[in-house]
Amino acid sequence: MAFTRRQLLQSGLGVTALLLVAACSRDEDSDGPAERGGTLRVGALGTAARSERDPHANLSNDSDFLIASLVYDALTVPGADPTVAPRLASRWEADAENKRWTFTIAEGAKFHNGAPVTAEDVVWSMKRLRQVGGASKMPVAENDIAADGPNRVVFTVPAPNTQLPLLLRLMTFTVPQGTTDFTAAVGTGPFKLESYQGGNARLVRNEQWHGTPPLLDAIEVTMFDSTTALSNAVLGGQIDLASNVGAIAGRTAAGRGDLQVVRRANDTMLGVAMRVADGPFADVRVRTALRLGVDRNALVNQVHSGFGTVAADVLGTADPLYDAARRRDRDVERAKTLLREANFDTGRSYPFVTKAEAPGEVESAKVIAAQLAEIGVKLDVQVVESAAFYDQTWLNAPLYTVSWGTNDSVLFYADKLLTSGSNRNETAFRDPEFDAATAKALAADGDEHTKAVADIQRIEFDRGGYLVWGMADGIDVAAAQVRGLPTLGGFARVQLERAWLA
């Protein structure tokens, strides 16, 4: 049975059937049928200073994000084909103008305390997400989110939007109406919080989950403050799964029979944000020079140990509509010419701020600084703590590293990070033509949508503020007996409800 892209976005029914078939196929492999029981010990990056229990807040710790994603349900989640799958919402449909979207809550959905999930719970949670996280996390205004009966929620947008199910995939977690204390972590997800201490948690199976029940009895999440510590733990057998541990650990584990390496293509973007609105990189010729001055192949090999691919300054490389034919090769002489034409001051040094957040991020800044010195640009690499970075650097500084672990569609990034109205516009990019192309891509479908996405990529490539030199593969290292691990990148990688132990 064939579905059009529009039909799959507008209805969760066909998607649900596909997911059930996929789940069954994943639960069996060459070792026989899936087994129920056992505790999966998972390690994830994080620091105590950045621990966050509020599921609607900025979960900068990977450990917190992992815990929240297992305890709470988003309305929709990533899928393989199609890219949007049901979670707390079992189906969705839009009106003829694609302005009024109705999402139906999954039948039998309950909170961990046994209370049924109502439309009012979802409405309250989505409004709170908008208040706490802003438009980048909840693209619908508070007054435009309403209940329609006990199990349906309506989102109304001011302009036609065919992509709303995709834009609601990340962190649209529902909590009981009125919740402000998240210590108990009362969610609707496949696991319940049994204990939490200092960023470490034990989660137990939610027997009443509305989806296919998890196979594991429990998941224990341990927080590690460095990739080295995380890698050593899985290599030494202290944990069963090192989540998003990076390429160095993956290469070390590759030759061991007691370990397996899960490699997720197009998982993480490490790049550079260049401020467009003002400052030393406001001239598009200067930004182009920096883009031409880096050696992308060398960066992928040095920073990602070859576990990655070269990119060309456009976000969303996992999108089927991404133009993989577009490339930007190193051209030192052309870069020098552009700097001269822009009267760029090569006699001074420019701060280049980075943080030890994503694997390889600090190293990437040092490699880039060394490469750009060859075109006459002197960069002073400054490594700061994450708290200081987000308080002082992010959204403000002229030049800093960025990382995004949800390699989503071109349109997702355009809407979240690059439009004039975004509250996460890391490059201070303001471009009327880009805004118009994004609005058209959101409203259109079929050939018009495809053309608008192509326009987004053209503008981003020609005059955007990102230097996207490559994509890192997501690397998990797991004990050999772990089965059913997710292979999709981004948000999908923390969906461990189908994992089991052989």
Please answer whether residues 248 and 48 qualify as being in contact, where contact means their C-beta atoms are separated by less than 8 angstroms: no
> How far apart, in whole angstroms, are the C-alpha atoms of residue 34 and residue 12?
26
pLDDT in the model for residue 25: 37
Q: Which CATH superfamily is domain 5-188 in?
A: Dipeptide-binding Protein; Domain 1 (3.90.76.10)
> How far apart, in whole angstroms, are the C-alpha atoms of residue 314 and residue 75?
27
Please answer whether residues 457 and 323 qualify as being in contact, where contact means their C-beta atoms are separated by less than 8 angstroms: yes
- The 10 Å CB-count burial string (b at 16+, else e) for 5-22 is eeebbbbbbebbebbeee
Q: Strand, coil or helix: what is 479?
A: strand
Report whether pLDDT(137) > 90. no
Q: Which is more confident, 267 or 284? A: 284
Burial of 158 (0-12, 13-18, 19+ CB in 10 A): exposed
> How far apart, in whole angstroms, are the C-alpha atoms of residue 109 and residue 115?
9
pLDDT in the model for residue 406: 66
Angle at alpha carbon of residue 303, lines to 297 and 309, rounded to 5°:
45
Q: How do residues 402-416 score in pLDDT, each as one tens digit?
A: 998 766 789 989 988
- The 10 Å CB-count burial string (b at 16+, else e) for 45-58 is bbbeebbbbbbbbe
Mean pLDDT, rounded, for 89-94: 97
pLDDT in the model for residue 493: 85
Of the candidates 323, 263, 298, the one whose C-alpha atom is nearest the C-alpha of residue 472 is 263
Of the candidates 42, 153, 161, the one whose C-alpha atom is nearest the C-alpha of residue 88 is 153
Which sequence spans correspond to the domains of the chain?
5-188, 266-473
pLDDT in the model for residue 19: 34
Q: Do domains 5-188 and 266-473 have the same CATH topology?
A: no
User: Residue 488's pLDDT band (boundaries 50, 70, 90)?
Assistant: confident
Angle, nearest 10°, between helix axes 284-293 and 446-463?
A: 90
The DSSP annotation for 114-172 comes to: SPBP-HHHHHHHHHHHHHHH-TTT--S-GGGEEE-SSSEEEEE-SS--S-HHHHT-SS-
At the top level of CATH, the class of 266-473 is: alpha beta
CB atoms within 10 A of CB 340: 13
Unique residue bearing structure tokens 């492999």: 29
Angle, nearest 10°, between helix axes 332-341 and 284-293?
A: 160
pLDDT in the model for residue 474: 87
pLDDT in the model for residue 319: 87
pLDDT in the model for residue 342: 98
Judge if pTM exceeds 0.85.
Answer: no
> How far apart, in whole angstroms, are the C-alpha atoms of residue 149 and residue 108?
16
> What's 232-259 look like in SS3?
HHHHCCCCCEECCCCHHHHHHHCCCCCE
Please answer whether residues 450 and 214 qualify as being in contact, where contact means their C-beta atoms are separated by less than 8 angstroms: no
Mean pLDDT, rounded, for 102-125: 98
pLDDT in the model for residue 12: 41
> How far apart, in whole angstroms, are the C-alpha atoms of residue 366 and residue 382?
10
pLDDT mean across residues, the chain: 91
Mean pLDDT, rounded, for 246-271: 90
> How far apart, in whole angstroms, are the C-alpha atoms of residue 447 and residue 4?
13
Mean pLDDT, rounded, for 22-30: 43
Provide the greatest CA pair distance for the chain: 67
> How far apart, in whole angstroms, are the C-alpha atoms of residue 366 and residue 302?
11
Q: How do residues 156-215 score in pLDDT, each as one tens digit?
A: 999 889 889 988 987 899 999 999 999 999 999 999 999 999 999 999 999 999 999 999
> What's 85-116 look like in SS3?
EECCEEEEEECCCCCEEEEEECCCCECCCCCE
Question: What single-letter amino acid sits at 241?
Answer: L
Q: Which is more confident, 166 or 232? A: 232
Return the structure tokens found at 211. Answer: 């989806």
> How far apart, in whole angstroms, are the C-alpha atoms of residue 17 and residue 246?
34
Report whether pLDDT(14) > 50. no
Mean pLDDT, rounded, for 110-135: 96
pLDDT in the model for residue 296: 98
pLDDT in the model for residue 16: 33
Unique residue bearing structure tokens 């989640």: 77
Q: How do residues 320-360 score in pLDDT, each as one tens digit?
A: 899 999 999 999 999 999 999 999 999 999 999 999 888 88
The DSSP annotation for 59-83 comes to: --SHHHHHHHHHHS--SEEE-SSSS
> How far apart, in whole angstroms, are the C-alpha atoms of residue 174 and residue 86?
14
User: Residue 115's pLDDT band (boundaries 50, 70, 90)?
Assistant: very high
Return the structure tokens found at 308. Answer: 């990655």
User: Residue 9's pLDDT band (boundaries 50, 70, 90)?
Assistant: very low
Q: Which is more confident, 65 or 19? A: 65
pLDDT in the model for residue 231: 95
Please answer whether residues 475 and 266 qualify as being in contact, where contact means their C-beta atoms are separated by less than 8 angstroms: no
Mean pLDDT, rounded, for 206-232: 95
Please answer whether residues 196 and 184 qualify as being in contact, where contact means their C-beta atoms are separated by less than 8 angstroms: no
> How far apart, in whole angstroms, are the C-alpha atoms of residue 288 and residue 328?
10
